[in-house]
Structure 1
Amino acid sequence: MDNNQAENAIRPSVIGRKNWTFSVSEAGAEANAICLSMAETAKANGVDFYQYLVKLRTKLPNLDIHRTLETLNQYMPWSKTIQATCAKK
C-alpha cells in the first residue's frame, strides 16, 4: 500500500507554500486556503475549476442563500447540476 494519491493531491500546495508564507494577513491566508480547497475539491470530483468558478460567480450573487442554505447544495462540486454543466471534457 502507498499514499501516492494523497501526496500528489497536496503537491501543488507544498510547492507553493514558500510563496504563501508572505500572505499579508491572516485573512489573506484564509482566503488562499479556501480557494485551494475549492480547487482541489472540484478536481477530485472531475469538475473543470474555471467553469465552476464562472458558474459560482454568475449564479450565487443572485440567490438568497442566507435564507435557504440548502440552495448551496446545488452548487457543490459533487451535485448533479454542477457535474452536468462543469464536467471536464
Structure 2
Amino acid sequence: YLEDGRLELSNNRAERSIKPFVMGRKNWLFANTPAGAQSSAVIYSLIETAKENELDPYRYLLWVLQSAPVLSQADEFWAEKLLPTNAPQECHVPQ
C-alpha cells in the first residue's frame, strides 16, 4: 500500500462486511458440518459480492441460482457468465 495509492490502509471495510456472519454463526444449525460450512461460505460470498457491486443481493442470487444449471450444461466457461459484471439490469439497485 505504500507504493500504490489505490490500496486501502486497513481492512476495516472487509471486517465490517463479515461481522453479521460472525455474530450469528452460533445460531445457524446448518453450518454444523463441513458441507454446511462450505455452503454458508458460498452464499455469503455471493451476497457480499453483490453488495460491493451495487446489486440487489436477493435478485442477484435468484438470477445466479436460476441461470447456473442451464449455463453449466451448455458452456464450459459458465461460471464467468455469472460474475456481477454480467448481471442483468434488473439485478442492479436503482439509483
Q: TM-score, normalised by structure 1?
A: 0.74
When Rg is computed on C-alpha atoms for both structures, the one with the higher figure is 2
In the TM superposition, 1:36-51 aligns within 5 A as 36-51=44-59
Code of the aligned partner of 1:24: N
CA contact (8 A) 2:30 2:36 kept: no
Please state whether the residue corresponding to 1:70 is helix, strand or coil. Answer: coil
Please state whether the residue corresponding to 1:69 is helix, strand or coil. Answer: coil
- 1:8 is displaced (CA, Å) by 1.8
Among candidates 58, 62, 67, match of residue 59 of structure 1: 67
CA shift digits 1:9-37 (9 cap, x unpaired): 12112211222477331111111111111
Q: List runs of 5+ in structure 2 lacking aligned partners.
A: 1-8
| Matched-pair identity in % | 36
1:41–1:85 CA distance, 2 compared to 1 (3 A): same
Runs of at least 4 residues off by over 4 Å: none
Q: Aligned residue for 1:31? A: 39
Q: List runs of 5+ in structure 1 lacking aligned partners.
A: none
Among candidates 44, 62, 78, match of residue 71 of structure 1: 78
RMSD in angstroms over aligned alpha carbons? Answer: 2.4
1:62–1:83 CA distance, 2 compared to 1 (3 A): closer
